[in-house]
Amino acid sequence: MSLPARSILFVPGDRADRFEKAACSGADMVVLDLEDAVLPDHKVAARDTIYQALAMLAEPRFVVRVNSLGTPWHEDDVWALAGLPGLAGLMLPKAERAEDFVDMRRAKVPLHALVETVRGALDLSGLCGAEGLVRLHFGTVDFQVDAGIDGDREEIDAIRTQMVLHSRLAGLQAPVDGVSVDLADVEGMARDAARSRRFGFGGKLCVHPRQVAPVNAAFSPSAASVDWARRVVDALSNGHGAVAVDGKLVDKPIVDRAHRVLAQSESYGVVA
């Protein structure tokens, strides 16, 4: 069973030497970046670099973040990359409306929306209706700048909750929370990722390979939770509608949760 990516690692699109390293980092998804990580004078060369890399692959492997709508590079990014065998998806920065994705649908790959503006955050219901869209990603740093907000925790938690709820209502994958900018603080990254999971997010953006492992761990079920899930499922196998496990009532909603934990443990290789 395949589950949504927990760790989403960005790599500059003009650094071909890092593509394979990123793919071997343990990240569930690698995004080759044509936007913020590439200077304007290098955009075309970076696109060519990514084109050559994806054209040589036998199967989809990388998602590409194209330049935003309205820039001189956006349309050419989409046209150049559509149909390449190594393309696993396209990510649109500063996504705000469902119609922003019309041209990107020609690539016939899963589409990802990076919510980075106030306009995008305030029209999540419309944005989530984009054809081909599979997931929302929260660009917390850019959003703070656009909103005039100083802080990435409780200051923008209201937006986090809305992203989770709108994603759920639209049938999208659980959204992805933004980056933790302190690359040296691995313990802090683990705390941030655990907090994101409690909010209902399904993953977190990473900008360095050392962030991948703590993110994967935070969004994977613990051995203790897998053990609990197995005991819950076993307890209901006798056909009773409600029983007690560890002294707590277990009925259908709890059983559904237990099945989700077991599915995650199988996909992510967690053993109790």
Residue-level pLDDT, tens digit, the chain, 272 residues: 467 999 999 999 999 999 999 999 999 999 999 999 999 999 999 999 999 999 999 999 999 999 999 999 999 999 999 999 999 999 999 999 999 999 999 999 999 999 999 999 999 999 999 999 999 999 999 999 999 999 999 999 999 999 999 999 999 999 999 999 998 898 999 999 999 999 999 999 999 999 999 999 999 987 777 776 777 777 776 655 567 777 677 767 777 777 777 777 776 776 65
Beta strands 243-245 and 248-250 are: antiparallel
Helices (H) and strands (E) in the chain, counts: 11, 10
CATH number at residue 179: 3.20.20.60
Q: Tokens at residue 38, please?
A: 């590439």
Gap between the Cα atoms of 28 and 180, Å rounded: 17
Gap between the Cα atoms of 113 and 137, Å rounded: 6
Same domain as 227, residue 203 = no
**Complete DSSP assignment for 55-88:** HT-SS--EEEEPPPTTSTTHHHHHHHHTT-TTEE
Q: Helix H segments across 183-251?
A: 186-199, 212-218, 223-236
The answer to whether residues 64 and 93 touch, using CB atoms and an 8 Å cutoff, is no
**Would you state the pLDDT for residue 239?**
59
Same domain as 129, residue 260 = no
Same domain as 242, residue 153 = no
Same domain as 204, residue 108 = yes
**Other CB atoms closer than 10 Å to residue 78's CB: what's the count?**
21
**Last residue within a domain, chosen from 183, 200, 218:** 218
Same domain as 149, residue 258 = no
Same domain as 195, residue 231 = no
The answer to whether residues 70 and 100 touch, using CB atoms and an 8 Å cutoff, is no
Q: Which residue range is the domain that position 24 belongs to?
A: 7-218
Gap between the Cα atoms of 97 and 94, Å rounded: 10
Q: How far apart are the first and last CA of the chain?
A: 18
Indicate whether 2 belongs to any domain. Answer: no
Indicate whether 1 belongs to any domain. Answer: no
Indicate whether 171 belongs to any domain. Answer: yes
**Would you state the pLDDT for residue 235?**
73
Count of domains for the chain: 2
Gap between the Cα atoms of 163 and 172, Å rounded: 10
pTM of the complete model? 0.90
Q: Which residues pair with 121 in a beta bridge?
A: none
Secondary structure (3-state) at 177: strand
